[in-house]
Amino acid sequence: MGLFKNYVSQTRKPEGFLGKMMLRGMNLGHAKMADWGFSHLPKISVSAAADLGCGGGRNAGELLKRFPDAHVTAIDYSDLSVAKARDYNREMIASGRCVVQQGDVSNLQLAAESLDLATAFETIYFWPGLEKCFEQVAKVLKPGGLFMICNESDGTDAASLKFEKIIDGMKNHTVDQIEEALRAAGFSKVKSDHHPSKPWITVLAKK
């Protein structure tokens, strides 16, 4: 259990050799789920976006592809994730369309009302207090801006609840809990979708 626990715990803050393995797996293993989440985005004009808890940087790259006029900021708590995301998006960084930086979602260092869109894929499990962190997201979104959350777990599936017991600091949230925290944080419109055959969820919130 020791090595297995050390490996799966890298989902929280990738570090060292195991963290590098985890980040490679994240970019590949979560791609289908992330693309399902992206399919929920309405047709909106985006000039500035952020991917919060960016991991290996794949989803920040997708934002850059889907919104070719947007500048994207990718943020992660892990130094290793920041390095991997920078490497993954190096061409867009060189062109001036992307910035990858270390940061804490409970204290976002972004300008107030500067973003049209914020995304969070497979990350809110580890955020230190949903309402507090969601308030930070609301602060940096423009009026009418969108926040999209996409998780593999709906907070009730047995596999994810098992990992919650193994990984320190992990908390699986139900759709109701997420929606309640979003509304408490100041989001005006919240809607969610559950995958028809998997425990995947996507939640969209409008400031």
pLDDT band at 167 (very low <50, low <70, confident <90, very high): confident
Residue 29, pLDDT > 90, answer: no
pLDDT digits (tens, 9 = 90+) for 74-109: 999 989 889 999 999 999 999 999 999 999 999 999
Q: Return the structure tokens found at 26.
A: 């994240």
pTM above 0.75, yes or no: yes
Annotate 37-68 with b (16+ C-beta within 10 A) or e (fewer).
Answer: bbeebeeeebebbbbbbbbbbbbbbbbbeebe
Say which amino acid occupies 74: A
Determine phi and psi for 171, rounding to 5 degrees: -140, 120
pLDDT band at 15 (very low <50, low <70, confident <90, very high): low
Determine phi and psi for 200, rounding to 5 degrees: -70, 145
Question: In 3-state terms, what secondary structure has residue 57?
Answer: coil
Domains of the chain from N-terminus onward: 2-206 (3.40.50.150)
User: What is the distance, to the nearest Å, from the Cα of residue 51 to the centroid of all Cα atoms in its chain?
Assistant: 6
β-pair type (201-206, 141-151): antiparallel
Residue 8, pLDDT > 50, answer: no
Report DSSP state, residue 183: H
β-pair type (48-52, 71-76): parallel
Residue 155, pLDDT > 70, answer: yes
